[in-house]
Amino acid sequence: MQSIHFFKYQGAGNDFIIVDNREKNIQLSQEKINHLCDRRFGIGADGFMLLQNSAEGDFEMIYHNADGQLGSMCGNGGRCIVAFAKKIEIVSDHADFIAIDGRHTASINDEGNWVSLKMQDVDQIQIIDKSYVLDTGSPHYVKLVNELEAMDVKHEGASIRNSTPYKKDGINVNFVSPEEDGYFVRTFERGVEDETLACGTGVTAVALAMAYKKGENGQLKTPIRALGGNLLIRFHADNNHFRDIYLEGPAEYVFEGTVTI
């Protein structure tokens, strides 16, 4: 039996269990992480993160999907772990950390609940069946749709995620509808295998794909509404090349506790 002190954070409704593992005394199996993320029998979360020491940055982010498997980059998770690092006084208003896709930097407001996270550059967008496929730290499929409010995102997303090209490795599926000066986005996430209230790498993929579709270049700013809240993506576009990409939005402490495994 092992007692683990955990912290619960959420970013636009995308929620995470975070554990301070700088002493590296916590090692959990895929099955146990999956149990902790279960919303009926565990704590409940879209993902599980360990914050660990790093010789290359302020800390290292180890991210697991809700199914317990080691995951690719999670944008909202990255923003939440930065807010957590500020709470435990590893960082103050700036963070430089290592994730599975490399180095990230971020800035944090004084209250510690708004984080701007720099994402990796993107150099390729593919058009497949009138939709867009790209990697923003995690692989994403972006599809423009009508009547998004009423769509069965879990069913439609699972259909694409489990189709022949993506069944083995999985892909996150984002459905998009324009509104006002930005977009409304709903996302089916692999590893969760369900719709989530927001997806950071997903809304980033949407912003880049829509700029590419419209032929927009230069310094751009795209507001996006997810079910769980509003996010902002800032970036520089040069045809199929995207630089200085920032994902911005809330990253809020929810509660903390101790669980026995």
The two three-digit tokens of residue 198, written as one number: 């927001």
- Structure tokens of 229? 């809240």
Same domain? For 138 and 237 the reply is yes
- Are 106 and 206 within one domain? no
**Tens-digit pLDDT profile for residues 228-237:** 999 999 999 9
Average pLDDT on 168-183 reads: 96
Residues 44 and 74 in one domain: yes
98 and 12, same domain (yes or no): yes
Query: Residues with catalytic annotation?
Result: 74, 199
239 versus 45: the higher-pLDDT residue is: 45
Q: In this model, does residue 248 exceed pLDDT 90?
A: yes
What is the rounded average pLDDT of the residues 133-161?
Answer: 98
- High-pLDDT (> 90) share of the chain, %: 98
Res 74: pLDDT: 98
Question: Within this chain, do residues 115 and 140 fall inside the same structural domain, yes or no?
Answer: no
Q: What are phi and psi of 118, to 5 degrees?
A: -80, 125
| Domain with 240 in it | 126-248
Q: In terms of domains, do 73 and 164 share one?
A: no
pLDDT band for 261, please (50, 70, 90 cuts): confident
Same-domain status, 232 and 175:
yes
Are 130 and 243 within one domain?
yes
- What per-residue string of b and e applies to 21-54 under the rule 16 or more CB within 10 Å gives b? beeeeeebeeebbbbbbeeeebbebbbbbbbbee
- Residue 149's contacts (CB-CB under 8 Å, 6 or more residues apart) are 184
Q: How many domains does the chain have?
A: 2
Domain co-membership, 255 together with 240: no
Closest by CA position to 200, among listed 93, 47, 67:
47
Q: What is the pLDDT of residue 149?
A: 97
Mean pLDDT, the chain, integer? 97
**10 & 107 share domain:** yes
Which CATH number covers residue 76? Answer: 3.10.310.10
Instruction: Give the predicted TM-score (pTM) of the model.
Output: 0.96
91 and 158 part of one domain = no
Express each pLDDT in 39-78 by its tens digit: 999 999 999 999 999 999 999 999 999 999 999 999 999 9
